[in-house]
Amino acid sequence: MFKGSMVALVTPFKNGKIDFASLRKLIDFHLENGTDVIVPCGTTGESATMSHDEHKSVLTYVVEYINHRIPVICGAGSNNTEEAIELVRHAKKIGGDGVLVVTPYYNKPTQEGLFRHYEYLAKKVDIPFVLYNVPGRTGVSLAPETAARLSKFDNIVAVKEASGNLDAVSQIISSCSLTVLSGEDSLTMPMLALGAQGAISVTANVVPDLSRRMIHAYLDGDLDESRDLHYKMFPLAKVLFVETNPIPVKTALAMMGKIREEFRLPLCEMSKENREKVRKVIADLGLIPAGKRVKI
């Protein structure tokens, strides 16, 4: 159902509020560059520091502005199952094409608890679900066996694998029908080689065209082109995680003139040393406008 280059969209802020004007420009940037799917309000969208009203308002804005031009997978996860169901229902109500639901963070549920969490949500709301496994952020990992158990629900259709564990990717693909989507940008091509069908990508915020070309080249059988693009983007995929995501990617977008460089505490601006690393990589890719002075 979902494949190709999908962007884990940042949420721009201005003076502490959602910057909807910049959000609209970011969406236009992705539409112009062939991004296949928009994914707002995930980890990269700083959903953890948004109020529920803000979270819902961003989802509503993105779905309504895109207006079915491309699919929207709404970030709708929480460490509280009842809060998650509220967000999932909102995504369904506004016409989202699916929901991205992260494993409950901080609670550290057992595998049975994870199964019951997703089972409850999937039975309550008829919308396509993408499971989201990112143990480095949540403190718990969705086991391939649990993903396979969840694949029996018709509306659980995919899993975003951001564990960095290629063995887990192989286990999921070989044991069930779930579509695997890369959530680890530097490993997207290796995951495609194992059978993944695309990526929900941080890097795509910065280079949507290159991301789309790399993934589609692989899916179309042009391995040399895909490999060349993988290596072209590899330094960017690494530097965008030199500090906690989404700090580096929002810094890069600000350097490119796309958004204001603004975060919500406890996230803050990058160190001077790491800012220079980001600046160099995006400059090498020709992404800083000619003559633009970049604050370091």
**Selected catalytic residue, list 105, 132, 250, 258:** 132
Answer yes or no: are the C-beta atoms of 98 and 129 closer than 8 Å: yes
Contact by Cβ (8 Å): 189, 210: no
Neighbours of 172 (CB within 10 A): 28
Which of 56, 160, 250, 258 is an active site residue? 160
Residue 277 annotated in active site: no
Q: Distances from the Cα of 43 to the Cαs of 49, 93, 217, 247, 281, in angstroms?
A: 10, 22, 27, 11, 23
Residue 132 is among the residues annotated as catalytic for this protein = yes
The Cα–Cα gap between 3 and 1 comes to 7
> Taking a C-beta distance cutoff of 8 angstroms, is the pair 62, 99 a contact?
no
Mapped onto helix, strand or coil, the DSSP state of residue 132 is strand
Sequence-ordered alpha helix ranges (H) in 220-257: 223-239, 247-255
Q: Are strands 17-18 and 13-14 parallel, antiparallel or unpaired?
A: antiparallel
For residue 195, the SS3 value is coil
**100 within 8 A of 160, measured Cβ to Cβ:** yes
Three-state SS across 159-225?
EEECCCCHHHHHHHHHHCCCEEEECCHHHHHHHHHHCCCEEEECHHHCCHHHHHHHHHHHHCCCHHH
Strands 73-75, 98-102: pairing kind? parallel
Please identify every residue annotated as catalytic.
132, 160
